[in-house]
Chain A
Amino acid sequence: MNDEPHNLPLSSGTRPRLAAKARVQTDKISGKLALLYPEGVLLLNPTGAAIVELCDGQHTFQEMVTTLAARYKSSPNSLSSDVAEYLDRLRERGLLELISEEDSYW
């Protein structure tokens, strides 16, 4: 399978995955999910944590939105742009790889 990260716009079939250099663990002090990477730390709020936990290269963007909508009793349509924006911020920091639909068939 082609493991090259892509900088594609999100489409519903894209499967976001945390970059190899990033990893998550629970922060002992705050109890929050900490996203660790070479130059820093992001302490995630509960919504951010819920999004990041789904960035496993398995869930498509559409599936992420559906899952989150069910969890937060919200409509997928209203959540979609917020989730996309959050993912884009992670991608800008180089913390996210977007696996395109074609690659996922390899």
Chain B
Amino acid sequence: MKDTKDTGHAEVTSQQKPTSSPQSSVPRPFGLLAELTYRCPLPCPYCSNPTQYPPTGAELTTEEWKRTLSQAGDLGVLHVLLSGGEPLLRSDLAELVAAAREAGLYTNLITSALGLTRDRAERLKAAGLDSVQISFQADEASLADSIAGTPSHARKREAAKLVRDLNFPLTFNVVLHRKNLGRLEAIIALAEEVGAERLELANTQFYGWAFKNKEALLPTRVQLEEAERIAAAAKVRLSGKMDVLYILPDYYGDRPKPCMNGWGRRYLTVNPVGDVLPCPTASEIKWLHFDNIRQHSLAWIWAESVAFNRFRGTAWMPQPCRSCDQREIDFGGCRCQAALLTGDAGNTDPACSLSPYRDVLNRIVDGAQQLLEGETPSSHTTDLQYRINPSHSLT
């Protein structure tokens, strides 16, 4: 259900700019993505969860998560995204929310909303949950349920109403791709109808399952131009009523996204088995070892571990990044994308037009421009490989 790589994370603004040369001093983290479980009732084909789950290890226990959240607060983290998989599948979720509040964190639930009963929502409210983000797949049930791989749209609508009834701020998130971009206008209308305060129109980022499905999910340039026009108009029309955020599809950009606002600079992720990663998709970098919260403190992993220091700052950068005047703005783009597309996480992200590997990305984008004979993108979902849940050794 999730695509939190660069969408759900906290922006940080301060009158004093944070230091931008972490070599001299390790920065403090602001946001924690807590992936409470890989289990999920939805098998969305664009999930950013890994396609190969960690081979060993059980989910962190309640006590282990509470300790992690407390350590995160001590380290300076101010925001936690409680995500997954589907975090509602953890029966201890309210207890974890309370622990996060105790640690001084602003708590955001990132959910498919399946399993969000009134009783559950009230318990989360009582525990101090601050904000809820519900993912939708489309504007209406037949397309939404076919993308989600399971009947879910009607239940999401009910859950969204419940969330608003309980006065939670609601973010309506939709991952956009070839199959649903044509429905954008109606999707925005649905977000208005359910009373969302914030709408995240997140073009698919190609990691995990989405990378496996990139040919089926990548939109055409024509689709995107139309979508950008619609999103820009909605942003103006809804100003002051609903905050509309349109997340650019970086395969179509000239400059890479400032992924995670820099490696080991603002954010960390703890996955369901306790591995601590600089980014939720960092396990795409197969040779990099990630230390585990069962063996080390969060503070040690953040400041000292090999994984967090490997791409911190700018000293690791190859050309053209090393001498680029954008190097402290986009941080060379995304390490995981470089790994996926070039085989080496240390390369410039091919989403940058200056990357020597840009042609790899261009070939994928060129291949997406034609609609297949008879293809009406929004009704054709037979080419999707749906996510599978982890085997029960991980649950």
Task: State the A residues within 8 Å of B (CB).
Answer: 7, 20-21, 23, 25, 27-29, 34, 36-45, 48, 94
Contacts and interface: CB of A to CB of B under 8 A. Distances in A.
Given A38-B169, A39-B198, A41-B78, A94 B243 contact: yes
A5 B299 CA distance: 41
A39 B11 contact: yes
Contact of A27 (B78, B169, B245): B78
A93 B102 CA distance: 26
Interface residues of B, number: 28
B295 interface: no
Contacts of A20: 167, 169
B78 A38 contact: no
A36 B12 CA distance: 10
A42 B131 contact: no
A20 B164 CA distance: 12
Contacts, number: 66
Given A7-B240, A34-B78, A45 B16 contact: yes
B211 interface: no
B171 A38 contact: yes
Interface of B: 10-16, 28, 30, 73-74, 76, 78-79, 104, 106, 108, 130-131, 133, 167, 169, 171, 197-198, 240, 243, 245
Contacts of A7: 240
B198 A38 contact: yes
Given A29-B28, A41-B106, A43-B12, 7 more contacts: A27-B78, A29-B76, A38-B197, A39-B11, A39-B198, A42-B14, A94-B198
A31 B245 CA distance: 31
Contact of B14 (A37, A38, A43, A94): A43
A94 B242 CA distance: 9
